[in-house]
Amino acid sequence: MTFELTGPRPGDTLSVSLYPGAFAIKIGECEVYSFDGEGRPIGASTGDRWLRRGLDNTLVEKRAGTAARGWQPLPPTEADAHVDAIALRMADLHQAVTQGHYRNPQSAIPPPLERAAAWDSRRCRADAARFLRLFHRVPILPPDQYLSLVLQPTEGCRYNRCTFCTLYRDRPFRAKSPEEFRRHLDEVVAYFGRGLARRRSLFLGDANALTLPMADLVPIFAAVQERLPVAPSDLTPAQARRWLSAHPLGFDGIHSFLDVFSGRKKSAAEYAALRRQGLRRVTIGLESGSAPLLQFLRKPERVADAVELVRTLHRAGVSVGVVVMVGAGGDRYAAAHVRETVAVVNAVSLGAADFLYLSEFVEHPGSDYARLAQAERIRALDAAEMAAQADAIRAGLRFPAQAPRVSVYRLSEFVY
């Protein structure tokens, strides 16, 4: 539903669009602000500048003409200033509308204006503190899951020693007890409030929740199913779309990351049991098909095990997302990385329900990777070489029937 209002001057227009769990306010031709259903600011655009805000109060910015730099995080004081400016803009608009300065054919005052005006930097910071108490942080999700509702039956990464990865260094691995997880579930639902309807899938965090034994996972999936409506398994894509439109607060299924090497391996029958409880897609950090590069990355997976894991999930009817790191290992490993990665991806027969993510490698200063690369005089690939490597991987891919969705994964752009 959209409210269209006309202001006192020519071209002075205001539209308020309501979406499930969110709303957007457009002023004139190019000023747009978006909010979740509670009124938390989540995005803004002024034609030549775009802002996205995460629930942890991170604000990232992109400006016209600087596409190569991508999204850049803003310092907290600058982020606060933007948030306050948005709240003030909404308060002014609300006042102008209530005082009759806008012609409003629908006669009702669009309710979200006042709600949006209440989210100044102080409230946003307090809300972020509540979010961080619930989640620590959500440092990464697969790109197709940026809008999922994250639930954390586990925190951190069981392994946590890959040289390039700093995502979970701030927390030890731990699994929540069933009671704690149920409490977490209630608190997450309460936290999102009217913003919940914006989230249409569920993601079990953090890095490798599915490595828990079945005896722990089955009650976790059951608790999710009891608390939230999840689409039945085995729907066709068209049936799933119909189910979602009939259930405005429903979720299309449960997604999660999984590493190849932690915990006891599960059988296809066990994954099929989880599929019946809602498991839809598992995202696996393959990173590379090259064993020497994996060794350099200190990722203790065997390529044959990665292939077997994808095949097991497929046999269970669970789709997969495979992550490949473009540029990992710099110039030293480039040729083998492309050759062996293409061979592994081709071997696992990805299909239309699967994803292949080409993740642009980011070298974190001070990481073990940076130290080792320097010691071994490995040169990082520049942007053109990274693009060429991604093209070379794409060029080598062969899929048996319908191709999976192949998308670029830029960690630096992620906000939750």
What residues make contact with ligand SF4 under the rule CB under 6 A?
A: 157, 159-160, 162, 165, 167-168, 207, 259, 285, 299
Residue with Cβ nearer ligand SF4 (57 or 288) = 288
6 - beta bridge partners? 13, 103
| Spatial contact of 46 and 208, defined as CB atoms under 8 Å apart | no
Longest pairwise C-alpha distance within the chain: 70
Q: How far is the CB of 346 from ligand SF4 (least distance, A)?
A: 23
**Which tokens sit at 176?**
């929540």
Query: Burial letters for 356-380: b for 16+ Cβ neighbours within 10 Å, e otherwise?
Result: bbbbbbbeeeebbbbeebeeeebeb
Cβ neighbors of 300 (< 8 A, separation 6 or more) are 159, 261, 294
Residue with Cβ nearer ligand SF4 (102 or 159) = 159
Q: How far is the CB of 158 from ligand SF4 (least distance, A)?
A: 7
Spatial separation of the C-alpha atoms in residues 29 and 26, rounded to whole Å = 7
Q: How far is the CB of 173 from ligand SF4 (least distance, A)?
A: 9
Residue with Cβ nearer ligand SF4 (60 or 207) = 207
Residue with Cβ nearer ligand SF4 (167 or 338) = 167
Cβ neighbors of 366 (< 8 A, separation 6 or more) are none
Residue with Cβ nearer ligand SF4 (165 or 390) = 165
Q: How far is the CB of 153 from ligand SF4 (least distance, A)?
A: 16
Cβ neighbors of 132 (< 8 A, separation 6 or more) are 56
> What 3-state DSSP class applies to 120?
coil
**Which tokens sit at 275?**
């599929």
Q: How far is the CB of 168 from ligand SF4 (least distance, A)?
A: 6
Q: How far is the CB of 72 from ligand SF4 (least distance, A)?
A: 24
Q: How far is the CB of 397 from ligand SF4 (least distance, A)?
A: 23
Residue with Cβ nearer ligand SF4 (196 or 258) = 258
Query: Burial letters for 169-203: b for 16+ Cβ neighbours within 10 Å, e otherwise?
Result: eeeebebbeeeebbebbeebeebbebbbbbbbbbb
Q: How far is the CB of 154 from ligand SF4 (least distance, A)?
A: 11
151 - beta bridge partners? 204
Residue with Cβ nearer ligand SF4 (71 or 257) = 257
Q: How far is the CB of 261 from ligand SF4 (least distance, A)?
A: 8
> What does residue 299 show for φ and ψ, rounded to 5 degrees?
-105, 110
> What does residue 243 show for φ and ψ, rounded to 5 degrees?
-60, -45
Residue with Cβ nearer ligand SF4 (113 or 313) = 313
Q: Name the DSSP class of 82.
A: H
Q: How far is the CB of 369 from ligand SF4 (least distance, A)?
A: 11
Residue with Cβ nearer ligand SF4 (131 or 257) = 257
Residue with Cβ nearer ligand SF4 (80 or 287) = 287
Angle at 34 between CA 28 and CA 38, to 5 degrees: 135
- Burial (CB count within 10 angstroms: exposed 0-12, middle 13-18, buried 19+), residue 123: middle
